[in-house]
């Protein structure tokens, strides 16, 4: 099979000359579980594992292959040994869940990110804004999909609300359960393109993929009746080839989505706030108590919702806090690095 079937483009050719001279082959990660990988290659699907050199030289987890990554490998005894990860054209990252200040790559080398939200108790405009901020920063094109129209009494109103916050992104309303409106998505799944589906558990990602596949290939589970929250049907990321020729990435439901880096994404998601801020009397206006604030004036006049402004401030605070945490972690790592060097020098002097 030709690698273009799995999303290979001429853009990757610039990065592989030296690797090709080493006799390496290339493939795309379609599944990963506990360090065991599966690749799409010219020979079809093949199992793979990391080389010891790549494993040990990786500074952190995000330097290791993620689902969607293109890798260079050497075939040994019917196993592909991954030697290098090709530069990513796009990546959807978040801060790892919990207290650790680490990056987790949710999807790599995707062209579009379909942000699914349910029109039941899952519906939340502020969460859509958060997803959009991270999606815009990934380098992929975000698309908002409102699922479960069969459970919503006023679908046009929800579409209008979503379009008001999803500036520059297409918005679709569908029902994966009954198959309504799915034909609208045909233009988002073009041959050779990679589309990642992201959203909460129970939002309908796996059901949508089964519809796109034309068969019940992936297991689904019902949502809880009390709060419409889902039970994980997908437990690992995987990349699937659709009959249309597009590739779709299924991901586990996101219980939390914390920002990693989103300076550009925040500006694009809240573009109208950035535009209004340019007219404020002070260039460093916080839009709280300063006089002649154009942003607060827009809120008072009903041109901007207070909730949207508060969410903008909240995401800004998260970014600032994370930047401080990352800086502190970097300084601690640097300190530990030099302590190890100093200890090595002392040990060397003792042996002389």
User: Is 274 in the same domain as 246?
Assistant: no
User: Is 71 in the same domain as 180?
Assistant: no
Q: What is the mean pLDDT of residues 212-221?
A: 71
Among candidate residues 196, 222, 250, the one where a domain is terminated: 250
**Quick one: pLDDT at residue 330?**
54
Q: Is residue 263 part of a domain?
A: no
Q: Is residue 262 part of a domain?
A: no
**Quick one: pLDDT at residue 35?**
80
User: Is 276 in the same domain as 152?
Assistant: no
Mean pLDDT of the chain: 84
The string of pLDDT tens digits covering residues 298-340 is 999 999 999 999 999 998 888 777 667 656 655 665 566 566 6
Q: How confident is the model at residue 230 (pLDDT cuts 50, 70, 90)?
A: very low
Q: Is residue 256 part of a domain?
A: no
77 vs 16, more confident: 16
Residue 346 scores a pLDDT above 80: no
**Quick one: pLDDT at residue 316?**
84
Q: How confident is the model at residue 232 (pLDDT cuts 50, 70, 90)?
A: very low
Q: Is residue 258 part of a domain?
A: no
Write the CATH number for 13.
Answer: 2.40.50.140
Q: What secondary structure, in 3-state letters, does the chain show?
A: CCHHHHCCCHHHHHHCHHHHHCCCEEEEEEEEECCEEEEEECCEEEEEEECHHHHHHCCCHHHCCCCCCEEEEEEECCEEEEEEECCCCCEEEEECCCCCCCEEEEEECCCEEEEEEECCCCCCHHHHHHHHHHHHHHCCEEEEEEECHHHCCCHHHHHHHHHHHCCCCEEEECECCCCECHHHHHHHCCCCCEEEEECCCCCCHHHHHHHHHCCCCCCCCCCCCCCCCCCCCCCCCEEEECCCCCEEEECCCCCCCECCCCHHHHHHHCHHHHHHHCCCCCCCCCCCCCCCCHHHHHHHCCCCCHHHHHHHHHHHHHHHHHHHHHHHHHHHHHHHHHHHHHHHHHHHHHHC
Residue 174 scores a pLDDT above 90: yes
* Range from 49-53, 62-66, 214-218 carrying the lowest mean pLDDT: 214-218
User: Is 103 in the same domain as 220?
Assistant: yes
Q: Is residue 173 part of a domain?
A: yes
pTM of the predicted model as reported, rounded to 2 decimal places: 0.80
**Quick one: pLDDT at residue 235?**
54
User: Is 173 in the same domain as 242?
Assistant: yes
Q: How confident is the model at residue 265 (pLDDT cuts 50, 70, 90)?
A: confident
Q: Is residue 22 part of a domain?
A: yes
**Quick one: pLDDT at residue 57?**
84
The string of pLDDT tens digits covering residues 136-171 is 888 899 999 999 999 999 999 999 999 999 999 999
Write the CATH number for 302.
Answer: 1.10.40.50
User: Is 188 in the same domain as 312?
Assistant: no
Full residue range of the structural domain in which residue 19 is found: 3-85
The string of pLDDT tens digits covering residues 28-46 is 999 988 788 999 999 999 9
User: Is 193 in the same domain as 134?
Assistant: yes
Task: Give the total number of structural domains in the chain.
Answer: 3
User: Is 281 in the same domain as 224?
Assistant: no
**Quick one: pLDDT at residue 59?**
74
Write the CATH number for 213.
Answer: 3.40.50.300
């Amino acid at each position: 099979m030709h690698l273009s079937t799995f999303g290979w483009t001429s853009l990757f050719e610039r990065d592989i000359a030296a690797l090709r001279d080493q006799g390496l082959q290339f493939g795309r990660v379609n599944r990963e579980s506990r360090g065991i990988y599966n690749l799409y290659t010219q020979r079809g699907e093949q199992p793979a594992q990391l080389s010891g050199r790549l494993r040990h030289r990786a500074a952190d987890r995000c330097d290791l292959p993620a689902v969607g990554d293109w890798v260079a490998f050497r075939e040994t005894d019917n196993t592909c040994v991954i030697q290098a990860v090709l530069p990513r054209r796009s990546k959807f990252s978040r801060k790892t869940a919990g207290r650790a200040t680490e990056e987790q790559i949710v999807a790599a080398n995707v062209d579009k990110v379909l942000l699914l939200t349910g029109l039941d108790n899952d519906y939340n405009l502020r969460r859509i804004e958060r997803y959009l901020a991270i999606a815009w920063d990934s380098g992929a094109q975000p698309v908002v999909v409102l699922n479960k129209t069969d459970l919503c009494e006023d679908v046009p109103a929800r579409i209008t609300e979503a379009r008001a916050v999803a500036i520059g992104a297409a918005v679709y309303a569908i029902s994966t359960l009954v198959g309504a409106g799915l034909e609208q998505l045909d233009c988002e799944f073009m041959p050779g393109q990679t589309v990642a589906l992201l959203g909460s558990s129970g939002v309908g990602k796996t059901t949508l993929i089964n519809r796109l596949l034309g068969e019940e290939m992936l297991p689904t589970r019902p949502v809880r009746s009390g709060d419409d929250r889902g039970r994980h049907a997908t437990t690992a990321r995987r990349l699937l080839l659709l009959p249309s020729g597009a590739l779709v990435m299924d991901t586990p439901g996101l219980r939390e989505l914390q920002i990693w880096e989103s300076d550009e994404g925040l500006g694009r998601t809240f573009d109208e706030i950035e535009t209004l801020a340019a007219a404020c009397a002070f260039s460093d206006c916080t839009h709280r108590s300063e006089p002649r604030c154009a942003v607060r004036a827009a809120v008072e006049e009903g041109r901007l919702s207070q909730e949207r402004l508060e969410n903008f401030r909240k995401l800004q605070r998260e970014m600032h806090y994370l930047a401080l945490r990352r800086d502190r972690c970097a300084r601690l790592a640097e300190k530990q690095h030099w302590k190890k060097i100093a200890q090595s020098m002392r040990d060397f002097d003792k042996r002389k």
